[in-house]
Structure 1
Amino acid sequence: MTADGKLRSNVRPGMDVDIVLKKDQRTGALTRGIVKDILTNSPSHPHGIKVRLEDGQVGRVQAIRS
């Protein structure tokens, strides 16, 4: 089961997530990683909450794995 990555309340640091990077938005290719920082301030975003992964990559959450 995957939680909704469009709601900020569902996303927490340390979670295992699939994100789409800015460069992959056309293809929809997903990148998996652990959330380090939540960059979106609003409670929700139609394209997914923007996060920074522990490896430094930034993208929008498409699926929450954990």
Structure 2
Amino acid sequence: MDGKKRANIKIGALVDIVLKKDQRSGTLTRGHVKRILTNSPQHPHGIKVMLEEQDQVGRVQEIIQ
């Protein structure tokens, strides 16, 4: 599922995100959503979230579950 719409993302969902430091390489990090940081209903680069694992912050590229 697409990570550009806030309505698609739920707390606890398994997602692939791209961290700020990995934006050039496009390396994805997988984890569970702890907090949704973007307030707008959609964002062209993906909704910004915080993962439960090590409080990593990045933009959702794909929703796994």
Work out whether the TM-score is over 0.5.
yes
User: What is the total number of aligned residue pairs between the two structures?
Assistant: 64
Match of 2:2 in 1: 4
Pick aligned residue for 2:41 from 22, 40, 43: 43
SS of the residue corresponding to residue 23 of structure 1 reads helix
The whole-number CA distance in structure 2 between the counterparts of 1:21 and 1:33 is 12
Q: CA deviation digits over 1:27-65, x for unaligned, max 9?
A: 000000000000000000000000000020000000000
- 4+ long deviations beyond 4 Å: none
The whole-number CA distance in structure 1 between the counterparts of 2:64 and 2:4 is 14
Normalised by the length of structure 2, the TM-score is 0.97
Give me the CA root mean square deviation: 0.4
**Percent identity of paired positions between Structure 1 and Structure 2:** 70
The whole-number CA distance in structure 2 between the counterparts of 1:11 and 1:60 is 11
Normalised by the length of structure 1, the TM-score is 0.96
Give the letter for the 2:44 counterpart. Answer: P
The whole-number CA distance in structure 2 between the counterparts of 1:60 and 1:11 is 11
